[in-house]
Structure 1
Amino acid sequence: MTRWGLTLPLTGVPLAAHRDLVRSLPDLGYSDVWSAETAGTDAFTPLALAAEWAPGLRLGTAIAPIYTRGAGLLAMSAATIAELAPGRFVLGVGTSTPTIVTNWNALPFEAPYARSRDTLRFLRSALRGDKVTETYETFAVSKFRLERPPTPPPQVVLAALRPGMLRLAAREADGAITNWLAPSDVPTVRSALGEGPELVARIFVCPTTDADAARGLGRLLISSYLTVPVYAAFHEWLGRGDALRPMNEAWAAGDRAAANAAITDEVVDELIVHGPPEKCRERVAEYVEQGLTTPVISILPTGDDPSDLVRALGRA
């Protein structure tokens, strides 16, 4: 089936107020709900509610950071949602960023590739219900066994931006999660991941006919995210390095206004989906045509009721 995902919770909408909207999502053509974890809700609680409100939806975390929970707690959190939504939960994990891991949670951000590999191997064993005693390169576990292993175990996908992590996702996980890419970038990412694994991407969508407003918001987001070294390297690999270099130089000099001004309309239009809802749906469908398995719409604020925007962007 062609999947059509949505990022929840919506900005500015209380968590409990999502109930009626979530119940309507399957009829609107949505197949998936994916949560995130930065400084708002945790990744798992919104999915527990969605599992009750709309039992037909597939649920996923995009992503739960691998540093901010112990290995056993991460497995327990995943097993809880997998029990609530058997066969319909995908555990998305990733390194997150030093800002979230170290600055906000006072934890070291070390050896991201090895920690990702070790976490995937632990999760595979733990979510099967195995008793795990293992000394990995980046952590050790002694005699851990889930009391309530889920049946079936959830799929596990890895946040990945460049070839090393994408190949790791292909070897050790069921697929990869990425973001901040254009439809034309999907074949490059897919070539590193391979044809078989699932490829999930969060797509930023601003459904408005006010192109100037959409581009203004897009510039703020692009300069906030793509100046982070891992994203800068990602776009260098994708071939967008020259286009983003003036932004990165201005940002490094401490001039955010100049950094925003240096982002061209062409770059914004590649990375931010905007326009009337029907045009946005067509643009999201382009990602699928290029090889994306699961588009996950993340609605940017337009001043309209976000619930109305969800309805307008539904595939049905």
Structure 2
Amino acid sequence: MSRWGLTIPLTGVPLTAHRELVEQLPDLGYTDAWTAETAGADAFTPLVLASQWAPQLRLGTAIVPVYTRGPGLLAMQAATVAELAPGRFVLGIGASSPVIVSNWNAASFDAPFARSRDTLRFLRTALAGEKVSEEYETFAVSKFRLERPVDPPPSIMLAALRPGMLRLASREADGAITNWLAASDVPQVRSVIGPDVELAARIFVCPTEDAEVARGLGRMLISSYLTVPVYAAFHEWLGRGEALAPMHEAWAAGDRQKANQVIPDSVVDELVIHGSVESCREQVRSYVDNGLTTPIIALLPAGGDPFEQVRGLAPR
């Protein structure tokens, strides 16, 4: 049985106003609530609230950057949420991007694969309650031990796009979290991590039957995200290099408007679900049919009541 997740908080909805909806999620069929961390709410605070509003939900971060907190602080925050949601918290970590890490948080975006691997290994030991004194490749920790270890320790999942990171997630983490892929891409990702590893993905859903509105929003998101080098390489691996080449050329030339315009409709329709609520729900289900374990719906604002849209997107 697949899980069914929702990204919180919803765009434009105050954090405290989510209580009514979050309390309803388990009865609607949602199993998970996940957060993200860019420049809005941090990844942990919404989950603290959700842990008290809906104790049945599994809670996860997708993702927390490995650079923007020290290793010890990251372990402390994870242990705190795990204490509030015993056995129901998943710590999703990942490299993030140079914009978030360097431009916004004044940290060096160096050796992302090694930093992710080292942070994963540190967290495994620290969240088990052990004292950590270790010289990792990308950082060192001396005599750190959590004052409030949790039992059981939280699961740890790794943000992964291409084979190297996907194999690391399969080998050393409790699963992989991916992003910006089509339902038809899931088998390719699944073939790398194997059949028995949890695979989660944030899926962008724009519940409107006005295709041009949905595609306009989708194009802005795609040009913002898929021009980031790691996502560009991901889609090259998935086979969209040629389709996205005009976008990359326009973006590199500084023509943001043209970069949006030259993204093919077919690519937008693959990566951003739109249509009626019923159609959107079935398109999310197609990811599960193709091998995704945990779809995480990210609701895009397209007019209408977002709470009603979330209710309509619940699994049937």
TM-score range, shorter chain: over 0.9
Tell me which residue corresponds to 1:261: 261
| CA shift for structure 1 position 150 | 1.0
Look up the equivalent residue of 2:154 and give its one-letter code.
Answer: P
CA distance in 2, matches of 1:102, 1:305: 36
Tell me which residue corresponds to 2:189: 189
Look up the equivalent residue of 2:124 and give its one-letter code.
Answer: R
| CA shift for structure 1 position 197 | 1.2
| CA shift for structure 1 position 307 | 1.3
Tell me which residue corresponds to 1:305: 305
CA distance in 2, matches of 1:36, 1:240: 25
Look up the equivalent residue of 1:269 and give its one-letter code.
Answer: D
For 1:166, what is the secondary structure of its paired residue?
A: helix
Look up the equivalent residue of 2:145 and give its one-letter code.
Answer: R
CA displacement 1:145-172 (0-9 Å, x = unmatched): 1111111011100001100000111111
Tell me which residue corresponds to 2:153: 153
Look up the equivalent residue of 1:213 and give its one-letter code.
Answer: V
Tell me which residue corresponds to 1:204: 204
CA distance in 2, matches of 1:148, 1:90: 17
For 1:234, what is the secondary structure of its paired residue?
A: helix
Tell me which residue corresponds to 2:129: 129
Tell me which residue corresponds to 1:109: 109
CA displacement 1:200-250 (0-9 Å, x = unmatched): 000000011111110111111111111111100000000010010111111
| CA shift for structure 1 position 176 | 0.6
CA distance in 2, matches of 1:98, 1:224: 13
| CA shift for structure 1 position 22 | 0.3
Matches within 5 A, 1:275-286: 275-286=275-286
| CA shift for structure 1 position 303 | 1.5
Tell me which residue corresponds to 2:33: 33
Misfit runs of 4+, over 3 Å: none
For 2:227, what is the secondary structure of its paired residue?
A: coil
Tell me which residue corresponds to 1:99: 99
For 2:90, what is the secondary structure of its paired residue?
A: strand
CA distance in 1, matches of 2:195, 2:139: 32
CA displacement 1:88-120 (0-9 Å, x = unmatched): 100000011111111111111101111111101
| CA shift for structure 1 position 28 | 1.1
Look up the equivalent residue of 1:66 and give its one-letter code.
Answer: V
State, as a whole percentage, how many aligned pairs show the same letter.
Answer: 74
CA distance in 2, matches of 1:133, 1:229: 34
CA displacement 1:105-140 (0-9 Å, x = unmatched): 111110111111110100000010001111111111
Tell me which residue corresponds to 1:235: 235
| CA shift for structure 1 position 264 | 1.1
Tell me which residue corresponds to 2:56: 56
CA displacement 1:26-52 (0-9 Å, x = unmatched): 111111000011111110000000000
Tell me which residue corresponds to 1:171: 171
| CA shift for structure 1 position 287 | 0.4
Look up the equivalent residue of 2:28 and give its one-letter code.
Answer: L
Tell me which residue corresponds to 2:86: 86
CA distance in 2, matches of 1:315, 1:237: 31
For 1:181, what is the secondary structure of its paired residue?
A: coil
CA distance in 2, matches of 1:258, 1:71: 41
Look up the equivalent residue of 2:272 and give its one-letter code.
Answer: I
| CA shift for structure 1 position 15 | 0.4
TM-score by length of 1: 0.99
Look up the equivalent residue of 2:140 and give its one-letter code.
Answer: A
CA distance in 2, matches of 1:219, 1:118: 35
Q: How many residues align?
A: 316
For 2:24, what is the secondary structure of its paired residue?
A: helix
CA displacement 1:235-280 (0-9 Å, x = unmatched): 0000010010111111111111111111111111100000001111
TM-score by length of 2: 0.99
Tell me which residue corresponds to 2:217: 217
